[in-house]
Every structure is written in C-alpha cells, then in structure tokens.
Chains A and B, each alone.
Chain A
Amino acid sequence: MVTTYAVTHGRQMPAISRVASILSRNVAALRSGPSYWLVLLSGFFEPMLYLLSIGVGVGALIGNISVGDKTLSYAAFVAPAMLAVSAMSGALAETTYNFFAKFKFVRSYDSILATPLKPMDIAAGELVWAMLRGSLYTVCFLIIMVALDLTTPLWALVTLPATMLVGLAFGSIGMAISTMIRGWQDFDLVHVGQFSMFLFSGTFSPVQDYPFAVEILIALTPLYHAVEVLRALSTGAPSLGILVSIAYLALTTLAGLMVASRRMSKALLA
C-alpha cells in the first residue's frame, strides 16, 4: 500500500494538508488488520462496563447523590467521568504504545521526515488522529448516555466538542511522554498513573470528600479537569468555573505538542 504525501511544487504545503497526510497514513495502516478493529472496540467497552457496574449497579444501592447544590442520580454522576475516561484511553492508546512503536522501533517517522514534512506536522497529525479515536468512543458513549437518560440530546451535542478537547489534551500528554521514556517497561508506570487518575479524579465520588491536600493534588491532574468540564456540560449545569478547566486542557495540549515536536526534532534530525 502506498501512502502519498502530497507535495505542491515549489510552494509550501498548507498546514491542513500536511496534517491530513499523516492521517491518511494512519487510515491506510488501520485497514491492514481486522484485529485492530476488535482492539479498537474493546477500548470503548471498558468505560461502558464500569458505567454499568459501578454507575448503575452500585448506583442502585446509592440512589441520588448531592454535589454542591445539585442532586443527581449516581449513574448520571459517574457517566460523564467514564465519558472522560473513554476519551482519555482512546487518545492515550494511540499516542503511547502505537506512537512509541512508530517513533522508536518501526521508525516510520524517519522516512516521513525525508519528505517536506516537519516534526511539528507529524506531532499535530498524530494528535488529531488520537483525538479522533477518542471521539469515536465518546460519540458512541454519548449516544448510550442519551439512551439511558443520563443526559439530553442537546447537552450531548454541547458535550461532544469538549470531549474532543479532552482527547487532544491526553493525546499530547501521551505523545510527550512517549518521546521521553526509555523502553516498554516504563509504560507500566504510565499505566499506574492512568489507573490512579481513573479511580480518584472525582470519577466515582466527589473530590471534595478527600482531605484538602489530596484534593489540591488531584486538581493538578488532567483527568480531574476533564471530568469537571464534561460533568458540568452533560448534566446541563455549566458554570464559569469550568473555563479554568478548559484553559487547563487547552494549555496542556499546546505544551504537550511543543514538547513532543521539540524532542522529535532532537531525536530524529540530530
């Protein structure tokens, strides 16, 4: 299979088509195996199961929960958190294992950099790709949330772009990490971090319950902000406060992207 990187003679390619050329490479790779689709599907499966088990199952033992001045069913409380988790795991799956393999072992990027593309183009292309995988999960997840009456169709539409931002933030963090780690065994640590965030970012119980120092610590991590934004939007109760979280995610995206492209330049163009 040949993947082309369109070159316009003599002129600089527009940024959009440079990023698109990276996407078309990944789409081509995607078609190469059916098992990829199963793995792709399974990434969506996991947060869904947690929603049903903890959100609905344990939720039946809880009934309603009050956070601040709002009261909502426990399932509706957990659902946006699992929505954030599915955006996170979709984006991380692409930018950790897959990106690392392409960066260090398959060395796909060496050949791409022999074309007019620059490290920043690759980083941006991979990031958009990771975000799209996360969004595939979140679209499905939002549909199920609407079906289970955990949000309304209108608020689901409002929430969707926010899940894309979450995907971008985690994608760029994952990519930055992948340019820094030494080997596969370091992913164990990434996994520990990912799982700890999964359990403690206000996902299953409000962070206000934790001791203040722990709460501060959690507020420094990205999943907390993702959950804050998506919960506010999917429950139809946005506040000005979420602007801080949105800014946090946007800045994380830019910082991660810059770190990743700078480190790629250093590693591949030295």
Chain B
Amino acid sequence: MAGTLATLERNLITYKRNWRASVFSSFVLPLLFIISIGIGVGRYVGTVNGWDYLSFIVPGVLAAGAFQTAHGESTFAVMSDFKWSRAYHAMRATPLRIGHMIGGWQLYIQIRVFIGSAIFLAVSALFGAVHSPWVLVTPLVCALLALAVGAPVSAFAASLNSQSYFPLLTRFVVIPATLFSGVFFPVTQLPTLVLPLAYASPLWHAVELCRAAMLGTEPLWPAPAHVGYLLLIAAAGLVWANRAYSKRLKD
C-alpha cells in the first residue's frame, strides 16, 4: 500500500503542474453538453420514462464524463511514462512492484473522476436535475466505471509503441460509445443488430446504474448484473495491465 501511495503522490505532483489542460474536458465539456442538449434540445423532447429530458440525461452525462476522463488519462500519459520519460523504468529500479505502479495510476484516475463527478453533480443540482438522495451512490458507480475503463486502456497504452492509435481509439471507440450507450436516448431504440454493441459498452451499464440511482427508474438488467459486468471488465483489465506492464519493463 505504501508503494501505491508513493506513486500516487508522484502522479498528483505532476497533475498539480498540468491541471489547467484538464479543466475543459472534465468539467466545461459536460457542462456545455448539459446546456446545449439537455436544456436546448430538451425543450423539444417531451418526457422520457416520465422525466424531463434534462433530468434524463444528467445521469448519463455524469457517467460519460467519468468514461472520458478515465480514457483520456490512460492513453498518452501512460505510454509516455513508458516510452519518453521512462518514469516506470525509474520506478522499476526501486523496491516498487508492478502492482504499485498500476495501483498508483488507477488511484490517481479515481481522484480525477471523483472531483469531476462531484463538480458536475453540484452544477446539475443548481439546474434542478438532482431529485433523490440516492445520487450519493453515483460516485461509486463512476469509480467502478473508471476502473473498468482505466485498467484496460492503460494496459493497451502500455503495450503500444506508437501514439497514432490513440486518435483512432477515440474516434472509433470512445465517441461512438459515448453517443450510443443510452446517454442521450434509451438504447432500446437502437436497431437490434447494434444493440449487443451497446450492451458490451461499460458506459451503458454505468448509465443504467446512475439513472436508476438518480431517477429511481428500473435498470434494463438487474442492478447486480450491471455491477457484475463492470467488475468483470475491471478485473480483466487489471490482469491485462499487470501483464502488459511486466512485459514492457522486462529485459
């Protein structure tokens, strides 16, 4: 644990220097979405599942924000600490173990996601889009989602040698996942052929859980199934990360 905290400390010192760049993506961007789509488009949407459109999308945009932050922090930053700064190689020469390095980075992502979610929820409350004390559960859902995204994407980044895959990952995976995981409209509207893709997306499971917590709606699957799926992806991601980090630091 001490080793994990030591790497977390390093990551936070680094963040202290570079936080400005993250303000737009983790705070301003979700807010702009809320205003443009939630309020702007919302006035033309009647109600969805009995709720006004803004209230409907707030849990979704909350989860999508966590999704994007976790993804964003697991790409260039991780690869560059292997390839350019070689910070992981420096850590490798100390008593730190691979688990500490992965843990320190995932904890850092957790802190980033938590701050982003808290600010977003506070603003949503000002817009009158928070209706239930169960909202307190949503940061836990976001934390689980962040691990289910952060761990495998970090593993992917650790095994790459070229950054040119990242824009492709963003455009062909992250943006489609954000747009079709039930954030803006229920996935049941999707063509049957595409539906399994939405079910595979960790974001969709988190959206269902956040929406269930904030609006009291019945999730499409039983809540434990959604949680179980996210746990499974997170666990697989951690195993993969352990393997990818070890391989990268070996020989």
Chain A residues proximal to chain B, CB less than 8 Å: 35, 38-39, 42, 45-46, 49-50, 52-54, 57-58, 60-62, 65, 74, 185, 188, 191-192, 195-196, 199-200, 203-205, 209-210
18 A-B pairs with CB atoms under 8 Å apart are A42-B167, A42-B171, A45-B172, A49-B176, A53-B180, A53-B184, A54-B37, A54-B41, A54-B184, A57-B179, A57-B180, A58-B184, A61-B48, A195-B29, A199-B33, A200-B40, A203-B36, A204-B40
Given A39-B167, A192-B28, the answer on whether A60 and B43 have CB atoms closer than 8 Å is no
Contacting residue for B32 out of A38, A45, A196, CB 8 A: A196
Given A74-B44, A200-B36, the answer on whether A60 and B21 have CB atoms closer than 8 Å is no
Chain A residues, CB < 8 A from B28? 192
Considering the complex, give the chain A residue whose CB is closest to the CB of B37. A204
Quick check: A46 and B171 within 8 Å, CB to CB?
A: yes
Considering the complex, give the chain A residue whose CB is closest to the CB of B164. A35
Q: How far is the CB of B47 from chain A (nearest CB, A)?
A: 9
Q: How far is the CB of A200 from chain B (nearest CB, A)?
A: 6
Quick check: B36 and A49 within 8 Å, CB to CB?
A: no
Chain B residues, CB < 8 A from A52? 179-180
Give bound CA distance, A195 to B203, whole Å. Answer: 22
Chain B residues proximal to chain A, CB less than 8 Å: 21, 24, 28-29, 32-33, 35-37, 40-41, 43-46, 48, 53, 164, 167-168, 171-172, 175-176, 179-180, 184-185, 189-190
Quick check: B44 and A62 within 8 Å, CB to CB?
A: yes
Give bound CA distance, A65 to B46, whole Å. Answer: 12
Contacting residue for B43 out of A188, A203, A205, CB 8 A: A205
Given A61-B48, A199-B33, A205-B36, the answer on whether A42 and B180 have CB atoms closer than 8 Å is no
Q: How far is the CB of A254 from chain B (nearest CB, A)?
A: 31
Give bound CA distance, A45 to B33, whole Å. Answer: 20
Quick check: A62 and B45 within 8 Å, CB to CB?
A: yes
Main secondary structure of the interface of B (DSSP, over half): helix
Quick check: B167 and A61 within 8 Å, CB to CB?
A: no
Contacting residue for B45 out of A35, A45, A58, CB 8 A: A58
Chain A residues, CB < 8 A from B21? 185, 188
Chain A residues, CB < 8 A from B53? 61
Q: How far is the CB of B215 from chain A (nearest CB, A)?
A: 16
Give bound CA distance, A60 to B184, whole Å. Answer: 11
Given A57-B180, A188-B24, the answer on whether A46 and B175 have CB atoms closer than 8 Å is yes
Chain B residues, CB < 8 A from A196? 32
Quick check: A199 and B189 within 8 Å, CB to CB?
A: no
Considering the complex, give the chain A residue whose CB is closest to the CB of B178. A53
Considering the complex, give the chain B residue whose CB is closest to the CB of A59. B185
Chain A residues, CB < 8 A from B171? 42, 45-46
Considering the complex, give the chain A residue whose CB is closest to the CB of B171. A42
Quick check: B40 and A209 within 8 Å, CB to CB?
A: yes
Quick check: A57 and B184 within 8 Å, CB to CB?
A: yes
Quick check: A61 and B24 within 8 Å, CB to CB?
A: no
